[in-house]
Structure 1
Amino acid sequence: MSMYQVKPIYEGAIKADLPTCMYTIPSVHEQQAGSSHSEHAHQNGESDSAVRALEARQDEIMRKLVELKAAVDGLAKTVATPDADLDLTVGSSLASPSPTACTFSGTADLDALLGKDLGALRDIVVNANPAQPPLTLLVLHGLLCQRYRVLSAVHVHSSVSAVPAQLLSCLGAHQADGCARHLFQLGFTLIWKDVPKLQMKFSVRSMCPIEGEANVARFLFRLLSPDPTDAALATLVDSWVDTAFFQLAEGGAKERAAALRSLNGALGRHSWLAGPELSLADIACYCCAVHSGAAGAAPANVQRWMKACENLGYFSRATLQ
């Protein structure tokens, strides 16, 4: 019972102009007659309830602070980059994995490659010229979405006047805006910009950009699978990547024909170019063959291999359809 408790007193023989129900406060002596033990128990119960309510409120405030920190860190990365003058936001997407999953023997460690996760989304920002779409990066983005929770976005820089519709949706279906950034592991932002060479940053404040589609592709593939421990195998993969970009993509007719013959010979011995499973060598050579138009005149083994790549699902991104 509390110190002051309201009690009704019904006055039967009072004048008609007075209320029939009045309230008086009992004396202190009446309160002291109660049990001191029950009084202390009641007060302790009220104290425990107040503490629990305060703890719940504190937990809610901390949760909101974590979300706010993630959002501020993401904005800080965007403002710190010279590409902040984006004049058209196309959309965000969480790309849906292909029905056919592509597995790799090793598992990459994001903390080792991108730094320790401190609660903020780790952003990968790519500047690419729409006149030379980076097909390998589109395929690798699809594979990254299979392995990680990727928040994707496509932007158009003010240096570009127009971008074809298929490039605006090249990272997958549009996702409703307002996604909570802390729910994702990676941010993948593709900016269509008038740049002479493809550039990539993953730590906008502290690193120089990685330039060239081949180098960016090597970096992104390491997020899917660690480098081969076999030095000969690693060298073979690098050799095929160089063949893809220097001969298939940038070479003349004779160089492309020579590259296709090399591909045909290697694929006559193995299903994939660098061993029993898909590697960056296959992704780079497939995309460069498609980009250069050499796929239509490819030999039989190359045609069979390209069909096997397409059956994985992710290579459909290289056609930009």
Structure 2
Amino acid sequence: MKYTVGVDIGGTNTKIGIVDEEGKIIQKEIIKTLSIEGVENTLKRIWDKIQELLDKSKIDSTEVLGVGMGIPGPVKNKEIVGFFANFPWEKNINIAKLFKEISGKETKLENDVNVIALGEAKYGAGKGFLSSVTIAIGTGIGGGIFVDGKIISGFNGAGGEVGHMKLVKDGLLCGCGQKGCFEAYASATGIEREAISRLKVNKKNKLYEKLEGNIEKVEAKDIFDCAKEGDLFSIDIVDYEAEYLAMGIGNILNIINPEKIILAGGVSLAGDILLDRVKEKLKKYAMGVTLEENFSIEIGILGNDAGIYGASALIG
């Protein structure tokens, strides 16, 4: 039996899993990333944990084919990270080379959202399909494009950054510093910003009562929960979210024409109250041909394990 290792490195936590030949995670654990301790110390701690998980499963390290990693930043040639989002590390570090020197194992890298997309495409909601686009909707919006068995990484590793396509000329300021981005409107941050703006002028609603007037503390989940309880004010905000989601997804369909759109991240957990609206509004923004036959929009099914699965799939 041969094994691969998937490592999903995040700003706070790092998920590590051992995956067998049948595509099953047989051991997994979450450790603190502690990037402040430096790149080499972080990578050594990750390898130490991998060895610990192998020992638990009585697997010899010679049975490990390699280690795949998801990294928060653009990745070039599955080796070099252009820059690290929220990490105090230098630009253009060859993480694959460093980790191979530590572990002796073949190491391949991809952007963190790309490995989530690869995980869902190969093991999750996109399994069995030749093309899918995974959209991770949380604090921001990330994307991964899977076509003919491969992730589209782009020339400098920035492929799939769907959150920064422009929906509104000179629109709302995005965290990237530009204006009018998909992310500025349809992310959790975007929907929360819209809710705060509306709550300042309308306090007669269930959402305001739920927050006890502390409108700055609103979270996307609060809005969806109140909408599910029939609060018309919150339903209107969900409609706002669905409109921009449909606009962004429509653009993706018109350019990529995938068989499947997979939604991941916290906002996707809103479920049908959001998804049904997006599907209806999508007809305004996507060419009819992209919505025909077997096209579908689904919620990702791998949850927090998607990054482990996708990272491990980089090997082999």
Q: Verify same fold: TM over 0.5.
A: no
Q: What is the TM-score when the length of structure 1 is the normalising length?
A: 0.30
Decide which structure has greater strand share: 2
Q: What is the TM-score when the length of structure 2 is the normalising length?
A: 0.30
